[in-house]
Structure 1
Amino acid sequence: MYFSVDITLFLAVIITGILCFMSLGLLQRRGKLPPGPIPLPLLGNILQLSGGSIVTKLVNMRKKYGDVFTVYLGSRPVVVVNGYKAVKEVYLDRADDFLARGDTETFNTSYHNHGFVFTTDINMWKELRRFSLSTMRDFGMGKKGIEDVIIEESQCLVKELKKTKGTFFDPQQIFNKVSGNVIFSIMFGHRHDYEDVELLDVVNTMCETFHIISSGWGQVFEMFPGIMKFMPGKHQTILSNMQKLLQYVKKRVDKNKETLDPDNPRDYVDAFLIKIEKEKNNPKTEYTFLNLVNSTLQIFFAGMETTSSTMTYVLLILMKNPDILGKVCEEIDRIIGRDRSPKMQDRNHMPFTDAVIHEMQRIIDLIPMGAARKTTRDIEFRGYYLPKHTNIYPMITTVLKDPTCFQYPNAFNPKNFLDENGEFKKNDGFMPLAAGKRNCMGEALFRTEYFLLVVTVLQNFVLKPELPIKDLDITPDVSGFGNLPRSYKLALIPR
């Protein structure tokens, strides 16, 4: 009996000693980093970050610790950067110091550092981003060609929406299909019918995955990836869905291989396959099959989810603000009318609509924490020492709601983008998809899709909410990696 008690006591002392040693190590590391809540060994700041939206928790911590502070996701320290001036330093003023991609375990577990969006290898990122941007431009992104593709897709959308015949429906899936088809056209050279099983399966899988990543399950996985990989829970769907999507892309790439004509590339995948063949004797090439598959999925994911979630949110916000909706519809009728499709050049003559579109994107705040960054070298930042490879969260949400940039930071008000004469005015604080060298590569594509789809829907339909306006809830359903709208139903009545 005494032996058993001695062993128990001995183990307790050993464990306590280990925890104290780890705590001391954490405190020593914290001495070099910005201040923040005291972390627990192994668990980090789980007590401060659990029980709600991680975005809200981090924003509230700013009140106590200032614009730059440190939190621990498990044992991993992350420096959280807030406000326009500080985030601008990260994205623009000192871009090279923060150019590396930070750890994003919910994606890294599947991508394994392949592809260019989430890779921590700066050389790989530079080479594959340059190639991808150039290739996607060749196939229409940012050119009039893709505008024509989006206009054609928007007319398909109108036909699809008319099939609802004024009944109430959830718009999320339809917008998934629309944005999925636009990116399909660039990546794979063609679109799908809206009832195509393959299209439905891909877009629904992406939507489900992004929702879980942004939920509490995704946040816990981000803190403890090594353990959570083996634990049951909804986060396992992230892993299985990502493997499913990667297998789908591999199948599509193999299909392109079978009919590839090196002299006549049809799409992004063809162009990458041709580049692989040209570089096959280069042992240091970044043009590999794995990078092709992962880059394709990353572009597809970002291109579809950004547009579909934003469009779903937009209709909800407009129904919540009928006076603003009415003014937008009046400007559409006056400038475009109802007999032709909208074009991007129309935006220059629609200052109120342009302001509303920007303000909706600001208030939606789609990627509130930004995509994680890392320091590329040991640096001094705002009076603190940040070692090389320190993870950074540039809190875009605090930029989009910065009172030094926006007159009405916490309210939906188009005046944030209008001057005293009612003309559209740019705002330096508007960086919803990041800024600088590592901003969203498809931002130009998104802006084109976003404007044309919003205007096309309002040109052709009256929005009718299922619930009374006072009961429409525009707060996010989940708020983590993304701010995603609550499920709702509306009816679209042809005008």
Structure 2
Amino acid sequence: MLPEVGSLLTALWSVLHLRTLLLGAVVFLFFADFLKRRHPKNYPPGPWPLPFIGNLLHVDFEQAHLKLQKYVKKYGNVLGLQFGDMPFVVVSGFPLIKETLIYMEQNFMNRPATLIRERVFKQNGLIMSNGQIWKEQRRFTLMTLRNFGLGKKSLEERIQEEAHYLAEAMKEENGQPFDPHFKINNAVSNIICSIIFGERFEYQDSQFQEMLKLLDEATRLEASFLCQFYNIFPRIMNILPGPHQTLFRNWEKLKLFIAKVIEKHKEDWNPEETRDFIDAYLKEMAKGNASSSFDEENLICTTLDLFLAGTETTSTTLRWGLLYLALNPEIQEKVHAEIDRVIGQCQQPSMAVRESMPYTNAFIHEVQRMGNIIPLNVPREVTVDTTLAGYHLPKGTVIMTNLTALHRDPTEWATPNTFNPEHFLENGQFKKRETFLPFSVGKRACLGEQLAKTELFIFFTSLLQKFTFKPPNNEKLSLKFRAGITLAPVSHRLCAVPRV
């Protein structure tokens, strides 16, 4: 009997001991996580982070920019958050955004290296690189873009030509409902493609359409919950299926597409005849400077950055604009009237007439304000321990500047939540607004700002010369958005009715 009781007690002690050990291990992990994530003294206030995942569940990734406004209202213009190991701070209000991006710019110059971006781009390219790599790639890209027509008549003529092709493609729809998404994407992408690849692609080119769809899906997936979860638990997510795996496959296919274009360029490359951006880059690589960042991987990543930025942002803005026109026929009539009065329906639109068309210019700016396509700006990272508005921001903190709140600030805009071109007019003349920052500001502002402004004016004016945009019969248009790297309209159809 006694041996049996002894065995039972031993077994019971083993179970209890194991449970105690497991419980102790869990408590230790939670405590270690708490110590690891404990914010430094005077860190900005925000919702209490959960163990391991931080504030991941506090943010609805389908409408993160709107959810964050509630926390900004509760905690103030410097909002502290945590996503996994990474501290995040959302900066709101024009004075603080200006201080961050202009007056203290040197402290906020870097881009954060998320694990997704690290896996796809490493430290390469234009958008997310830092330090010497960023300086070299940006300086070279700006110089090369200027050499290939940025700010010159030659590039404007390419945009005019592409606007004509787009109008012809829309004319083929015969005023019937169609989804303008990839026609617009193709047209806008052809401008940057003519610079980086030296060619444009027909709207029926199946391979190029596939590339545009891969890019569209990648920009949508990257901001999704599961893809952000990868940034916290990469080892676990690596072995699991899901949208993050699709995202990586898409980026690799896009990189492969560009690598093949580069190989084709190498076959008939002549250093004495620079046809496009890739040729110019190959010439720079041929200098053989071992200390520079000009290598094939950076060529692929920089070209892909230009392809992404030169396609996605402007085309999304154009799609929002046509949607707002169809939903606001009285505004469309005013733009039509100004076009008819200034250039008529036959003269090709050019930047030379923009100053004579203040209402059209104001309409375009209002599309950018209301479309809000990059609602929290491209992120920055704190380069040294910094004090902002009295709060301590440790080195490595990710900074998001709240363009949503800035562009919907009721103290700055008469009707902040209503589409109203009058926001950019004063006594009938176009009025610049200091608090309007769709291209960001400072040294890391969008380097394609001038190109985008030219494209938006010429594309919009060319299309509105030819068409009236209307909702399809018995279909209700919506301003619902699809969240991703950019905020884009949900899939919809329009009628492009030829003007008499």
Q: TM-score range by the shorter chain?
A: over 0.9
Partner residue of 2:199 out of 172, 175, 190:
190
Cα 1:250/1:110, change in 2 over 3 Å: same
Aligned to 2:4: none
Q: CA separation in 1, counterparts of 2:242 and 2:19?
A: 33
Which 10-residue stretch deviates more, 212-221 or 301-310? 212-221
Aligned to 2:221: 212
Deviation at 1:399, TM superposition (A): 1.7
Deviation at 1:413, TM superposition (A): 1.1
Which 10-residue stretch deviates more, 66-75 or 221-230? 221-230
CA deviations over 1:197-216 (Å, ceiling 9, x no partner) = 23212112111111222444
SS in 1 for 2:58: helix
Which 10-residue stretch deviates more, 212-221 or 151-160? 212-221
Partner residue of 1:97 out of 92, 97, 107:
107
Which 10-residue stretch deviates more, 243-252 or 401-410? 401-410
Aligned to 1:76: 86
Aligned to 1:492: 496
Q: CA separation in 2, counterparts of 1:178 and 1:335?
A: 25
Aligned to 1:433: 439
Deviation at 1:104, TM superposition (A): 4.0
Which AA in structure 2 matches 1:490?
L
Partner residue of 2:256 out of 231, 247, 259:
247
Matched, 1:24 2:35: yes
Which AA in structure 2 matches 1:193?
E
Which 10-residue stretch deviates more, 257-266 or 193-202? 193-202
SS in 2 for 1:438: coil
Matched, 1:422 2:419: no
Deviation at 1:226, TM superposition (A): 4.7
Aligned to 2:67: 57
Aligned to 2:76: 66
Aligned to 2:479: 474
Partner residue of 1:463 out of 469, 472, 476:
469
Aligned to 1:361: 368
Deviation at 1:350, TM superposition (A): 0.7
Which AA in structure 1 matches 2:125?
G
**Larger Rg belongs to:** 2
Identity %: 37
Which 10-residue stretch deviates more, 404-413 or 143-152? 404-413
SS in 2 for 1:437: coil
Aligned to 1:233: 242
Aligned to 2:53: 43
SS in 2 for 1:100: coil
Matched, 1:8 2:12: no
Deviation at 1:254, TM superposition (A): 1.0
CA deviations over 1:322-375 (Å, ceiling 9, x no partner) = 111111111111111011211111110011111111011100001111111011
SS in 2 for 1:103: coil
- TM-score with structure 1 setting the length: 0.95
- TM-score with structure 2 setting the length: 0.94
Aligned residues: 488
Given that residues 41 and 75 in structure 1 are in contact (C-alpha distance below 8 angstroms), is that contact kept between their aligned partners in structure 2? no
CA deviations over 1:112-171 (Å, ceiling 9, x no partner) = 11112111x321111110100110110112221110000000111111111111221100
Aligned to 2:148: 139
Which AA in structure 2 matches 1:242?
W
Cα 1:218/1:397, change in 2 over 3 Å: farther
Q: CA separation in 1, counterparts of 2:233 and 2:470?
A: 44
Aligned to 2:303: 296
Partner residue of 1:397 out of 404, 409, 414:
404
Q: How does 1:440-459 map to 2 (within 5 A)?
A: 440-459=446-465
Given that residues 366 and 483 in structure 1 are in contact (C-alpha distance below 8 angstroms), is that contact kept between their aligned partners in structure 2? yes
SS in 2 for 1:79: strand
SS in 2 for 1:411: coil
Which AA in structure 1 matches 2:472?
E
Q: How does 1:162-173 map to 2 (within 5 A)?
A: 162-173=171-182
CA deviations over 1:354-411 (Å, ceiling 9, x no partner) = 1111011100001111111011222211101222222111122122122333222222
Given that residues 97 and 379 in structure 1 are in contact (C-alpha distance below 8 angstroms), is that contact kept between their aligned partners in structure 2? yes
Q: CA separation in 2, counterparts of 1:427 and 1:230?
A: 49
Task: List gaps (5 residues or longer) in structure 1.
Answer: none
Which AA in structure 1 matches 2:157?
D
Deviation at 1:56, TM superposition (A): 1.7
Q: CA separation in 1, counterparts of 2:222 and 2:61?
A: 16
CA deviations over 1:172-229 (Å, ceiling 9, x no partner) = 0101110111111000111122211232121121111112224444444455445433
Deviation at 1:465, TM superposition (A): 0.8
Which AA in structure 2 matches 1:274?
K
Cα 1:156/1:438, change in 2 over 3 Å: same
Given that residues 40 and 392 in structure 2 are in contact (C-alpha distance below 8 angstroms), is that contact kept between their aligned partners in structure 1? no
CA deviations over 1:399-438 (Å, ceiling 9, x no partner) = 212233322222211121111x111100011111211110
Which AA in structure 2 matches 1:158?
A
SS in 1 for 2:430: coil
Matched, 1:386 2:393: yes
SS in 2 for 1:385: strand
Aligned to 1:331: 338
Q: CA separation in 1, counterparts of 2:209 and 2:316?
A: 16
Given that residues 405 and 427 in structure 1 are in contact (C-alpha distance below 8 angstroms), is that contact kept between their aligned partners in structure 2? no
Deviation at 1:31, TM superposition (A): 2.7
Which 10-residue stretch deviates more, 289-298 or 52-61? 52-61
Matched, 1:269 2:278: yes
